[in-house]
Amino acid sequence: MKLWAISDLHIGVMQNREALRDLSSFPEDWLILAGDVCESIDDLAQAFAWCVKKFARVIWVPGNHELWLVDAGDKSRTSQSKYIDLINLARSFGVLTPEDPWEFFPKTGHLIVPLTTMYDYSFRPDHISREEVISWAAEQDCVCSDEILIKTQTPAGVDRWSAQLCDQAEQRFQKELPEGVQTILINHFPLREDLVHIPRVPRFSPWCGTKRTNDWHIRYRASVVISGHLHVRRTDWRDGTRFEEVSLGYPRQWDPAKGLQYYLRDVSP
């Protein structure tokens, strides 16, 4: 029984879609999908349909791409309302989401904690203010498409949503994390700024997470933390916790000759 993880499948791209469709079955194993599966709800439904057939249990957290509003005809929607729709979709396939009761991975007894936290532009240099951060990123053409495609309920935007999500997660940890239990944390965005390794697009960092989560691996006793978003596969260690960036990425970022199976990361503690 293995615990596999992958993120950033981006199945809106045909080559990635076919790779997920053609992936072998692992009937004993569990699969973590750490966000950026796709943009459209129909594509996400297709991904869930394939994955629940291939794996014993599927766990999913949203990436920024899932929260993009790509249907131009539906102007009243916000990314928050799409999030609720996506959670309901996942549940209809029996996929575990950040809004569900946490489950133990039977083989190791670790508590699996899927998270949604977003970003608040705090991953920026000290000398750049929040007001300046978008133009600072624009100077090197690094502004994230989220600025157009993610729409929030309040004018304060993603900053405020991220703060609310972090508040909710912290309250849940306080209430629901049993004493002494070790965890596996799953979040699309890296939990720490020092895990953002993006040398090709350094000014993309403001869209990569929030400083609020910097010590969550210690506070919430994580043996492993799984994330994606960066499209830079890595394993890092901090304070005895293993951090796994498990992105597949766009076709130029992975080798189809190796097959998708090669990119599944065994994240068992």
Residue ranges binding Fe ion (CB under 5 A): 8, 36, 63-64, 229
Name which of 8 and 43 has its Cβ closer to Fe ion.
8
Name which of 63 and 98 has its Cβ closer to Fe ion.
63
Considering the complex, what minimum distance in angstroms separates the CB of residue 94 from Fe ion?
A: 24
Name which of 111 and 165 has its Cβ closer to Fe ion.
165
CA distance 36 to 61: 9
Considering the complex, what minimum distance in angstroms separates the CB of residue 146 from Fe ion?
A: 9
CA distance 244 to 5: 9
For 42, residues 6+ apart whose C-beta sits below 8 A from its C-beta are none
Instruction: Yes or no: say if 183 and 223 are a contact pair by the CB < 8 Å rule.
Output: yes
- Across 177-190, b (16+ Cβ under 10 Å) vs e yields beeeeebbbbbbbb
Could you tell me the two tokens for 264?
């599944």
Name which of 203 and 229 has its Cβ closer to Fe ion.
229
Considering the complex, what minimum distance in angstroms separates the CB of residue 1 from Fe ion?
A: 28
Considering the complex, what minimum distance in angstroms separates the CB of residue 110 from Fe ion?
A: 25
Tell me which H or E stretch contains 100.
none
Considering the complex, what minimum distance in angstroms separates the CB of residue 242 from Fe ion?
A: 21
Instruction: Yes or no: say if 168 and 213 are a contact pair by the CB < 8 Å rule.
Output: no
For 143, residues 6+ apart whose C-beta sits below 8 A from its C-beta are 134, 137
Alpha helices of the chain — where are they, by DSSP H? 14-22, 41-54, 79-92, 133-138, 146-149, 157-176, 216-219
What residue is closest to Fe ion based on CB? 36
Name which of 151 and 229 has its Cβ closer to Fe ion.
229
Considering the complex, what minimum distance in angstroms separates the CB of residue 127 from Fe ion?
A: 26
Considering the complex, what minimum distance in angstroms separates the CB of residue 116 from Fe ion?
A: 12
Name which of 64 and 116 has its Cβ closer to Fe ion.
64
Name which of 29 and 244 has its Cβ closer to Fe ion.
244
Q: What is the largest CA-CA distance in the chain?
A: 51
